[in-house]
Chain A
Amino acid sequence: MTESSTSETAEKSAESAKALRTQQAQANRQVAKLRAAVRERDDRLRELEERLVALEGSTTYRFGRIVVGAARRPGRRATRLPRELYRLWKHRDAPQRPGQSSDFTRGRSEVFDREEDRLLAASPAALEGSVRQLVIAGVFGPSTTADLAGFARTLPLFPHDGGLVLESSDADLVLVDVTAGAPGGPWAYLGEPGMYDRERTLGTLLDAARGRDLPVVLWPAGRGDEGELGGAATAPGLSRLDWDAIAVPGVSLLRFNPAWGAERDRTPLVIDPGVRLPLGVRRAVDAITATIGARVADPTPAELPQLLRRHSVTVAATPAQVPEQLASGAFVLCPAAVAGALPADLRAHVHVVTDPAALPETLSAVPLYDPRLALRTLFLRHSAPVRLAELCERLGIDADPAAGRRVTVVADVGSAADAARLADDVLAQSHRPAEVAFAPGAGLPGGALTAVTARLAEHGVTVCTRSAGDPAGRSGTATPGEAPWVAPWPTGARVPESHLADLVCAAECSGADAVGPAAGAPDHTFVAAVEPALVRRELYETGGAPAGWSAQGARLMSLDSRG
């Protein structure tokens, strides 16, 4: 190749390269223009969406939807109409967040094409419980799930998945436990001022709940009305939100219960509430602790029940500690300020300390302390299933958290007098049975049966008849009724009104399969044989003779609750 041709080639190459660069630059400019056009279109789309949201967020539009919605579903929606309209009025000036459905009654589902499709989705809850099992989705603290276990099915919601889980869940309500904001959990610092991300996420969950007509409930740390005695600083960011109910949780007797039969440490115990106590209470607790040489412990939630069971005397530093300590069978000492914040029926079961110096003499009476009365009070009025049932009634939820306490009384009734006495005793029970299955004797007039049935039904007790025979019905046939417990009724003697309450309470606390008197055995002791006063239905129907129950592995607890 000659020098000139080399130079020409080089020139051509350079020109080609320059042309390529020019083309590339032009292509790059074109790409940049296209990108700009796409950005502009996205901006316009966003603006249109915001306008649509604004329209949907207008009070007029929302009012119309609420009223039309109530007209379409008169039953449940109509009862909520006043509350929804009030909420609409209250928040009429509140700004709507972009993308948020402004209607409290309708959140757009991201899972279902039509809201009605939710009705088709099978629920895992069906595998575990009854149709009326309470299902609670929520923001839970360290012990919420344990406290609700056995009374409700729980679905924890986490900051990053709460919306998805709630959307596809079959929940009855959404619960927020204030203790969820404690460090060491997924919702740490929820409710603390300045925690925008947690607050926003919770707000989105609550909106989603309302969009599905699910009530939202706040579960406060303390009892809610005793100021600093609530213990840890409650999350102020939560209490200012809009709740359908603020419900004080009841104590779980499955978790907190006496360790009957076990030897207890006589050293008094204080569960350290930390530095966050009002000054007066701090002084009182310190004085009590010093006087009686109490041990101060700081257990985890998992360790707490067992620790309480091991001590015969405890000191309650906050009102929230009282039910747990009473349920654990302890003799509970309470500073006056703490006792003053308790409801009267609980206060009656604690020892109010006004003079620590007098305590040593008081404590000498502890070996004689019988926790049964305190347990009865807790069982009837301050336990988890009772509180949950009250909540369900208040919120119009068709669920029965206390279903596990339902009892079918079985009795033989030979005369009109027997029938009347049975009705009197049943209706007087502080824990009323759900059902009565009785075998009418030959001498029972038909009219008497009808009258008793009507009288019991009037008070919500279902009556069914069974064949005459062994009242225990241990013939291998099904006993009428559906309650999980069967209580053979003692005939011929009046039964105290606390009879069923004490039996079911003992069963709930101990996990026993049958409860009843056992000759020669002290009450609340696991024994090899009992005279059945309360029996799990499946054991009652298929277990054969009671003498063989223990050998089958059934747990039997002695308790003579007949007075």
Chain B
Amino acid sequence: MRPRALVYGDVDLNLIDGSAIWAQGMVQALARAGCAVTLVLKAPVRTGRLVDPLAAIKGVTVRRPHEEGRVEGGAGMTAKQAVRVLTEIDEAEPYDLVVIRGRRLAGKLAHSPLRGRLWTYLTDVPQSAPEFDGNARGELTRIAEASRFLLCQTEELRCFLEAAVPATAGRCVLFSPVVVLPDGLSPQDRTPPDGRPLRLVYTGKFAPRWNTYEMTGLPRLLAARDVEAELHMVGDKVHDDPKDPNFSRRMRTALESGDGVVWHGGHPRAEAMRLTAGCDIGLSWRHPDMDASLELSTKVLEMGALGVPVVLNRTPMHERLLGADYPLFAASETDVVEALAVTAREPETYALAAERCRAAAAGFSLDAAADRLRRYLTQAFPEPSEAILRASRDGGRKLRVGVAGHDLKFFTRLLDYLKSRPDMEVRVDHWSALKVHDPERSQELVDWADVVICEWCGPNALWYAEHKRPGQRLFVRLHRFELYSGWPQRLDIGAVDKIICVSPHYGDLTRKMTGWPANKVVVVPNWVDDTQFDREKLEGAEHHLGMIGIAPARKRLDLGLDVLEQLRRDDPRFMLFIKSKLPWDYWWIWQREEEREHYDQVFRRIRRSPLLAGAVVFDSYGRDVASWLRRIGFVLSTSDDESFHLAPAEGMAAGAVPALLPWPGAETIYDPRWIHADPAAMAGSIAATVREGRWEDERRLGRDQLREAYALDEVCRQWTVLIAGEQM
């Protein structure tokens, strides 16, 4: 069944600007990904340049609220009007997903019936930490909670958002700009000009920070280097700059009469690209103030799609796109002239630059966008299962699944998955504390659910076992601490269908300590949202060790420090980054004297050891783990005891190499190659991996292992089988 997508971009498709190109690309990509798309127009159609081709695509419907009489007057819809119109259209026949662009609109839709189905494309977010105030954070939190996905143009934007607004973590996915070449244009093989002038091209607005005035001097400067050049300028918007009142006059003069400058004026996008395709090198060199942008210029990608190499600023984003050794990075006018002069004379350098740009642009094609959307659609709309439907009490209707527990942080993602299934209905009985709940609410769940899952084998499990309805199935997930709490021993195991442990070791331990029938205890591992964690590593990460969660004392931060000290004896670039609450943030830990003594020693050592001073950084606890792991090359697990220890698994999904000490059961969860006898062995292995250049291979292996065993899709499949009552 094709998902039905409603798309509204708060854009006027009579103007061909960046936002209109976005809308066009989104509609095309959704259609190609298999959706039935309805595009709602903001403004009455005055020119069909963009709209008509979209309406002609099979599966795409264009709704015109003004013509349909939903909106009066000829002005584009306000956000308020758009909310009303979209809600009305959806009410008539609900859509599976609602793709929108614009923070203001999203903020209003967050309170509408479309809440929960929004796929929100955010561009107008604060771009720096000081700009993030409580209002912005609050609004973006509401938008995040109302959105299924937050579509981010770049990894930089995604990471920034997740750190600034915790509610966005786990919901942000990448949706890069879509570059679609107009008909008749395609990438060409190119060589530097021979026997004719070098043709430079710039398209866009003329404004001071875009260095457009400086560009007009390039033909003259290149002539001094014996390189004959022309600069082709396409565009007609000359900005007035209050700080430089003479700019517009100066700019016009240069456009009209600059040496070697050919001003083509304003042109539609297709024509501008055709002119670009006829040139040799594009210019996207800007003032350094713009280097910190979280957005990517589509002009650069369009030129790359045409096979035209581009001169642009060196930024971390551009380095990842084109390679740190891309030859046409430039910051100053001198750099630009040098780069152009050299490239004009060296065919191999020109070819390298063109190829890098073309390869980079390939990742932004319509097919690439459609692939990405298909993955998100699969994630958002899993296929229904006959086995699940059979398992419902009345057969053929949705299976009713109840989840009960006081702390659902390790269950949230699975809960999202269960809720997204078309063959399940899910309700949650969230206990306010380990032992505190509303019995009436719990009883309602008992009366309603076909299946109840108790997260943690605590008082919740005892209560539900006691109140279980005949024919109802009850599953209890046991982690670790419960085994030593006494509750499992009081559990009526006869009322429980399955106890789920997260590791084989804890499965065995549970059977041993409780004496429960062996077949009652099954193992379904913890999952890692591998697609969320799969992000590009930051440069230099191979020297960064990471630990996630260092409390209580059994996490053995001191052993992590042993590893770090040994590494830093030979290479002071090794660092330890810790993402965790501090032990005094947990009252039940800090009230224990032995815990305080342990940490007193550990922190004293960090402060005073010459090898550790300045080498250990405590980063804030938060949900932005995936973004944080980009800076980590090795994730350590030095605990005395763990049931699963998610940290190394998350590290593996993020492309870091795991490094574990042999806590009981570690070898049943992780490949023994990652387990080391003691801190000295761990340090030796890490040092050798980096020194011998094996880090890339090792981390790739770790990521593949993780995907095979603990990827979210696989673990969800196992839970689905379990809930369906089938054999595992």
Contact = CB atoms under 8 A, between A and B. Distances in A.
B319 interface: yes
Contacts of A192: 156, 316, 538
Interface string B301-316: 0000000000000111
A95 B133 contact: yes
A188 B540 contact: yes
B620 A197 contact: yes
B29 interface: no
A228 B135 contact: no
Nearest to B134: A98
Nearest to B622: A197
Contacts of B433: 31
A104 to B, nearest CB: 12
Contacts of B327: 279
Interface in B475-533: none
B436 interface: yes
A156 B543 CA distance: 21
Interface in A370-419: none
A228 B136 contact: no
Given A193-B292, A194-B156, A278 B436 contact: no
B293 interface: yes
A532 B533 CA distance: 68
B406 to A, nearest CB: 12
Contacts of B154: 194
B240 to A, nearest CB: 21
Contacts of A364: none
Interface stretch (A6-14, A63-71, A177-185, A475-483): A177-185
Contacts of A195: 159-160
A97 B133 contact: yes
A236 B315 contact: yes
A159 interface: yes
A183 B133 contact: no
B540 A183 contact: yes
Given A97-B133, A183-B540, A236-B291, A189 B157 contact: no
Contacts of A185: 573, 575, 614
Contacts of B573: 183-185
A240 B290 CA distance: 9
Interface in A529-550: none
Given A160-B619, A183-B541, A233 B335 contact: no
Interface stretch (B88-96, B105-113, B124-132, B370-378): B124-132
Interface string A297-315: 0001010000000000000
A276 interface: yes
Given A196-B163, A240-B289, A278-B339, A188 B155 contact: no
Nearest to A233: B314
A53 B432 CA distance: 32
B339 A94 contact: no
Contacts, number: 179
B491 to A, nearest CB: 18
Contact of B631 (A35, A188, A200, A276): A188
Interface string A415-449: 00000000000000000000000000000000000
Contact of B131 (A94, A227, A337): A94
A237 B130 CA distance: 12
A240 B209 CA distance: 13
B185 interface: no
Range of interface residues on A (Cβ < 8 Å): 35 or more
Contacts of B316: 192-193, 233
Contact of A281 (B288, B338, B544, B615): B338
A44 interface: no
Interface stretch (B341-349, B449-457, B707-715): B341-349
B343 A279 contact: yes
Contacts of B343: 279
A561 interface: no
B439 interface: yes
B540 A184 contact: yes
Interface in A218-242: 226-230, 233-234, 236-237, 239-240
A236 B288 contact: yes
Given A95-B135, A188-B540, A228-B314, A196 B129 contact: yes
Interface string A26-39: 00110110010000
B575 A279 contact: no
Contact of A96 (B133, B157, B620): B133
A185 B615 CA distance: 7
Most buried by B among A183, A186, A199, A200: A183
A367 interface: no
Interface in A129-171: 142, 156, 158-160
Nearest to A94: B130
A442 B587 CA distance: 82
Tell which of B133, B293, B328, B338 has the most Cβ of chain A within 10 Å.
B338
A159 B129 contact: no
Which of A159, A230, A233 is packed against the most chain B CB atoms within 10 Å?
A: A233
A185 B541 CA distance: 11
Interface in A258-317: 274-276, 278-281, 283, 300, 302
Contact of A199 (B128, B157, B339): B128
Given A228-B329, A279-B342, A193 B324 contact: no
A178 to B, nearest CB: 12
A275 B356 CA distance: 16
Contacts of B183: none
A340 interface: yes
A337 B163 CA distance: 41
Nearest to B156: A194
Contacts of B432: 31-32, 35
B584 interface: no
A337 B538 CA distance: 31
B614 A280 contact: no
A300 B338 contact: no
B618 interface: yes
Nearest to A227: B332
Interface in B526-583: 538-541, 543-544, 572-575
Interface string B154-176: 11111110011000000000000
A206 B702 CA distance: 40
A203 interface: yes
Contacts of B324: 274-276
B620 A227 contact: no
Given A189-B538, A193-B293, A233-B316, A183 B543 contact: yes
A193 B315 contact: yes
Contacts of A158: 614, 617
A455 to B, nearest CB: 47
A237 B128 contact: yes
A345 interface: no
A337 B335 CA distance: 9
B661 interface: no
A28 B631 contact: no
A193 B130 contact: no
B330 interface: yes
Contacts of B334: 226-227, 278, 337, 340
B315 A233 contact: yes
A194 B330 contact: no
A541 to B, nearest CB: 36
Given A28-B438, A340-B334, A186 B134 contact: no
A95 B540 contact: no
A203 B129 contact: yes
B315 A184 contact: no
Q: Which 10 A-B pairs have the closest CB atoms?
A: A183-B540, A227-B332, A280-B338, A95-B133, A236-B291, A184-B573, A194-B156, A227-B331, A196-B163, A160-B618
Given A95-B135, A229-B335, 11 more contacts: A35-B432, A97-B133, A183-B539, A183-B540, A184-B543, A188-B540, A189-B538, A194-B155, A197-B620, A227-B335, A278-B329
12 contacts: A95-B131, A95-B132, A193-B316, A194-B160, A194-B294, A203-B129, A228-B314, A228-B331, A228-B335, A233-B319, A236-B291, A340-B334
